[in-house]
């Protein structure tokens, strides 16, 4: 239960981090809050040769609203998303309002426990890529953009291309996930998040996020997003269930119909936390509840 030996670097600049990653490649692992990586190191499931600690780097923990997106710096701790505040285009820092401003605290409270949320970071969770992690589900559902830096370059990776399989992303060894861009949802969006775990703070067995956009004139759904975690190696979108919703007016019957399609659309594997059939049932329940929550109805 003690980690294997590793060499340690704690650069104080992004350039220093990128140099270290460039130099050590896949021998290196980035340490942010350490709330996922260090348990894996303590179990020796992860044995990096070099740890590059980004805890002393400035400039990675900002939140700002730019061009219709909320940019969340990689080192923003989970606790800050319980009451998100961001730098607005006019430079002032304000509490984040709107649909995203309500959604992020709803989701954040499911992330681990209070001490974990005091250390663990948004970017760390995304880069760790646990398929049941709340932020990964949110990123996939909203088509977030991951901003990856490397020495002398930057690229933007969409969530669909970012998550490859369990704990595996398309980040290259010499790349640092610096920030994640989440689209600001207009006030015609309704979003919900629901998760089942056996005890508070545990990893989700299944979690679902939904976001639907309502046509202002008709009240019908013009765009729908359903993302589910805990049923595959990555968080998945459910296009058939999404299609069930489009063109229809939200309501309990419609939500139940979409949830039924969702349950048929996933292909979960069973494990000691729940059989495949049980997870399928949970998908049905979590999708229906997330939709109801988004519509303002009790789940």
Partner 1 sequence: MTEISPADVAVPVVLRVNGTDHRVSAEPRRTLADTLREECGLTGTHLGCEHGVCGACTVLLDGEPVRSCLLFAVQAQGAEIRTVEGLAGDDGTLHPLQEAFWRHHGLQCGFCTPGFLMLSTGVLETRPDIGDDELREALSSNLCRCTGYQTIVEAVRSVRDAAGA
**Tokens encoding 176:** 């640092």
Nearest distance in Å: CB 273, partner 1: 15
Helix axes 252-265, 276-294, angle to 10 degrees: 150
Question: How far is residue 69 from each of residues 3, 102, 143, 222, measured CA to CA in Å?
Answer: 38, 15, 11, 21
Which of helix, strand or coil describes residue 270? Answer: coil
- Per CB under 8 A, the list member of 89, 91, 152, 200 interacting with partner 1 is 200
Helix (H) or strand (E) holding 85: strand 85-87
- Per CB under 8 A, the list member of 14, 119, 257, 297 interacting with partner 1 is 119
Note whether 3 binds partner 1 by CB under 8 A: yes
- Per CB under 8 A, the list member of 14, 49, 260, 285 interacting with partner 1 is 49
Note whether 16 binds partner 1 by CB under 8 A: yes
DSSP state of 33: S
Q: What are the residues facing 69 on neighbouring strands?
A: 66, 183
Q: Which is nearer to partner 1, 50 or 220 (CB)?
A: 50
Helix (H) or strand (E) holding 124: helix 122-128
Note whether 38 binds partner 1 by CB under 8 A: yes
Residues in contact with partner 1, counted by CB under 8 A, come to a total of 39
- How remote is the C-alpha of 83 from its chain's centroid? 17
Q: Which is nearer to partner 1, 5 or 216 (CB)?
A: 5
- Per CB under 8 A, the list member of 53, 106, 223, 248 interacting with partner 1 is 53
Phi, psi (degrees; rounded to nearest 5) at 291:
-65, -40
**Binding-site string for partner 1 from residue 78 to residue 117, where x marks contact by CB under 8 A and - marks none:** -x-----------------------------x---xxxx-
**CA angle (204 as vertex; 198, 205 as ends), nearest 5:** 70
Residues in 204-243 at the binding interface with partner 1, rule: CB under 8 A: none
Nearest distance in Å: CB 298, partner 1: 17
Q: Which is nearer to partner 1, 28 or 221 (CB)?
A: 28
Nearest distance in Å: CB 7, partner 1: 5
- Per CB under 8 A, the list member of 25, 39, 68, 105 interacting with partner 1 is 39
Nearest distance in Å: CB 29, partner 1: 12
How many Å apart are CA 229 and CA 130, to the nearest integer?
A: 9
How many Å apart are CA 166 and CA 243, to the nearest integer?
A: 27
- For 119-147, letters b (16+ CB in 10 Å) and e give bbbbbbbbbbbbbbbbbbbbbbbbebbbb
Binding footprint of partner 1 on the chain (CB under 8 A): 1-11, 16-17, 19-20, 31, 34-35, 38-39, 41-43, 49-51, 53, 55, 79, 109, 113-116, 118-119, 199-201
């Amino acid at each position: 239960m003690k980690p294997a030996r590793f060499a340690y670097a704690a650069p104080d600049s992004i350039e220093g981090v990128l140099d270290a990653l460039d130099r050590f490649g896949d021998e290196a692992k980035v340490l942010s809050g350490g709330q996922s990586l260090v348990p894996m190191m303590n179990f020796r499931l992860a044995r990096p040769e070099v740890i590059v600690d980004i805890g002393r780097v400035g400039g990675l923990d900002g939140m700002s609203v730019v061009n219709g997106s909320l940019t969340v710096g990689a080192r923003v701790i989970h606790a800050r998303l319980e009451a998100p505040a961001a730098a607005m285009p006019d430079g002032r820092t304000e509490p984040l309002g709107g649909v995203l401003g309500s959604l992020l605290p709803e989701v954040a409270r499911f992330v681990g426990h209070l001490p974990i949320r005091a250390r663990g970071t948004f970017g760390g969770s995304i880069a760790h890529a646990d398929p049941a992690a709340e932020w990964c589900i949110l990123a996939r559902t909203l088509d977030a953009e991951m901003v990856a830096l490397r020495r002398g370059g930057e690229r933007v990776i969409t969530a669909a291309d970012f998550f490859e399989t369990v704990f595996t992303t398309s980040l290259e060894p010499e790349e640092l996930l610096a920030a994640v861009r989440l689209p600001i949802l207009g006030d015609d969006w309704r979003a919900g998040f629901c998760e089942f775990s056996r005890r508070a703070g545990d990893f989700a067995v299944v979690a679902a996020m939904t976001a639907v956009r309502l046509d202002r004139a008709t009240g019908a759904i013009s765009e729908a997003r359903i993302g589910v975690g805990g049923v595959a190696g990555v968080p998945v979108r459910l296009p058939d269930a999404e299609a069930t919703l489009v063109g229809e007016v939200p309501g309990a019957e419609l939500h139940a119909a979409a949830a039924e399609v969702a349950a048929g659309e996933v292909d979960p594997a069973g494990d000691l936390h729940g059989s495949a059939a049980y997870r399928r049932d949970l998908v049905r329940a979590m999708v229906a509840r997330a939709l109801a929550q988004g519509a303002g109805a009790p789940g």
